[in-house]
Structure 1
Amino acid sequence: MTFILEMASLHSDARPRHLVFSKIERLISHMNDQRNGVQLKDKKNFLHSTMHNSFTGADLISWLSENRCEQDNAEAIHLATFLCMFGYIYPVDLRTFSVKEDKNIYYRFQSPYYWPSKHLKLTNEMYIIYLLKRNRRNKQKHALEEHEQSALTKLQALFSDKIGFVNKQAEEQVKIVKDMKREDKIIHDKQERAFWKVHRPPPGQVKYVDEGPSRCYQPSQMVARRTKNRDLKIKEIAYLKKALTQARMKFSKSVDIFLQHCDQYMPYDAFMDPGAAQPSNPWISGEETLWEVNGKLVEVPSVLRIKKWALSFEDLLHDDTGRNEFEQFARKEYSQENITFYKTCKEIVVCPLSKVNTLKVKIEKEFLTPGAPCEVNVDGKTLERVQEQLKNDKEPLGRSRYVFQPAMEHVYALMKKDSYARFLRSEQYKLLMEKAQNHVSKKKLFNFGGSKKKSASPLVGRRGSSSSDGQGNEGDLSGPSYHSFSTGNLRELDDNPKKTLRQSISPSLRRRNDKDQDSKTPAGQDPRRRSNLEVPRASYAGMTNTESRKSEMVSPCLALNVPRTNVITPWDGKS
């Protein structure tokens, strides 16, 4: 089977998108030809006049096999079934909705009103009116099938809010059908039932006419797109020809520049460099100082944030705090109009459409008019270019936002070359750096209420004390010993026992303490040895190390009962 190739009519948006419909309809017109078409049965050959203009399945398949399928009988049956499922032909007996090569089964051509190309969008409202209309007529001839009855029940629940309107529509159509002739009424009923069998088939039957997703463009738009694509291709060719003569940067050089940029900004990225989170990483330490220091507008920014301003002028302007500091510096140097003009030009780019004309008039009067209160230093060529764009501004509002772009670029270059360099060398920038460093150091030194506990300081040995004096300590102080004038760690040496805060001690606890002291105290040693004053041994400068060790072995420490005093006198070896 061969079909003539055909393209969609791009000049008509109302025609269907399925090219197969136009091909089938052309085939149906050939089949309806009185001379070379399918042989139709005459009214005289039938007892019932409703069977005229019908044809048998054998005649249909034989005609398709001879004229379209090149004597292929199986292909002819497939094509006939295709025509039946699309609704261009239907069997007179609707109980068997299929095509068979039989001389006793008759078929008819469907009316063009019910072709699928005419009814692409069917609604549930049309279907429920059809079912209600059949339900109101003779139930012996027009009884609903099982799947149609279940569909009617569902649709009645769906259209419960407008069921009255639907019933009136069904009644009006029933009246119109009753006024028809008997033959026309029978043919109309069969055509309508065949149409809905195609578009609402019973369970198990394939639905060939599936609309699918609706298209989002019309054929006329395809024509406009073709011309547009042609113009774009011409522009692209011209651009590529021009690009062949232009010098391009080498790939290796561009990669080196990219790597240098990454190395330059690496210390300022907290994800890549842990030291960039100043004063501390809040996700680890739990302190929220980082969020406070790196807010939009802060009094004391972080050190890294101030250092980043010195990398480029763009980094300074993108930071709200840096732009505010630069604006204060420009105010001191009487050049504030440049940064104000730059900010206003940036504002007009992102402002609503309703404010574009107002801002344009404001910028022109305050900054670009000769003798304006905040006139910016723009050269004559740039100013003429801007004024010409303002006069010839016939473009939409979305594009007229950029009429001040040449002047803004000129002012930006002036600030970058002159004001920005002086700002980095100014005392204001240095003072900001000092404040930031002092702020970080204060946070580190005076960290009151911190979670970490201070470690105990090591004990300092007294000058001249024996080696046994420091054995009780955990750490060994190997450095030189110093004399301590503090008596806070010495107990009272008089005979009277020291009074304690707790006067009453239970007898069991007293006996237990006495046993512990007796078991810990060696034989021949005073249990109150710790309360006695140990006098440091004398050491002479003229002695060698060996002699000093001998003298330490010969002369032991003496325990003296000394009255209370705040002065500790070293032992004199001469007496």
Structure 2
Amino acid sequence: MATVAGCTPHGRSSRTQRPHLSKMERVIVSMQDPDQGVKMRSQRLLITAIPHAVAGETRGHPGGAGRRGLRPLCLSRAGRDVVEWLVQKFCISEEEALHLGTLLAQHGYIYPLRESRDLTLHPDETPYRFQPGAPNILEQGPERGSYNSSRVQMSSDFYKCEIERFRKALGRNRVKSSVCLEAYLKFSSQHGPHDPILSGCLPSNPWITDDVTYWAMNAPKVAAPTKLRVERWSFSFRELLDDPVGRGHFMDFLQKEFSAENLSFWEACEELRFGGQAQVPALVDAVYQQFLAPGAARWVNIDSRTMEWTLEGMRQPHRYVLDAAQLHIYMLMKKDSYPRFLKSDIYKGLLEEAVIPLETKRWAFPFLRKPLHSSPSPVLQSTPEEPAVTSIPAGGNGEQ
């Protein structure tokens, strides 16, 4: 009975060799037996090179290197000898032996020395040799493991494991391709006007016009942001926090709602994460005393389980000890404060007062500024009222 590897803890089957290849290799091992195998003979060929040729004329044995102990040989045997050996070994007809030998040649276990492209077994004096084997560890692929790992028979337990694995695969949530395509189209149409390569940059491209006004208007700290910059804040909450100007206006909004401590706590956690290693213990204690300790001046509301994880990690403070609390406050602002900020008068006023830069210099690539329109067809331009043009024969006097 064929055997396969048992199921892994993740519901996957470990990779093993296919059963038919194992059977073929057992046949090749039997062929190389010194006493009962196929007779070997030395073969001299007047050729320049043989693919996968191996020097030496030592007869191999099953304990050699290679796949399942197969050792490459330079001694050859005729196709007729292989056919006769298969007939006697398995008590089959010559036609069946030819078919089996051809399969061994097509799978690369025996190799013709004269016609390398003819992967068939001929019942004549055509010489063949054994192919070099490959180490089993390479056959395992990315899932490396011992070839002699525990193997179980295809019993009821194996099929129960397979059924459970397929049931989990069928119940896994998957996103439809139509939904993914709609999301990509929305993302492309939303970010298209903000791409300097596709839509250009106003007032001019500083890399080709030597005008740095574009960089000055989009600096990290500016008094009046551009309209494109303000619009990007509505793409995602991360876009708003990554922009110092947008985060400053969001802080003004939270102060009016008496929840500015949430953003301050998030900024303190960012400083702890990307700050110097020597200041980590002091920063952890300062953040805890200011935002998390009982009776803190700017206390933030986190759940009890997150607080337990934070207090346990503070026994040996490190720069990521407040990640759970920071994520809790981040999601709170994203789901509650951020949508109200986009609907507030502050954000609407920023959109109305945002700067719309005008093009100051001629664009180097005008085809990016103006949409392309196809030229009208000459057939559509002609009208039925136009008289047909009669051609005058060359050399004529103009008379019909």
Superposition TM-score, scaled by structure 2 size: 0.45
Q: Which has the higher contact order (CA 8 A, sep 6+)?
A: 2
Relative to total residues, which structure has the larger helix share, 1 or 2? 1
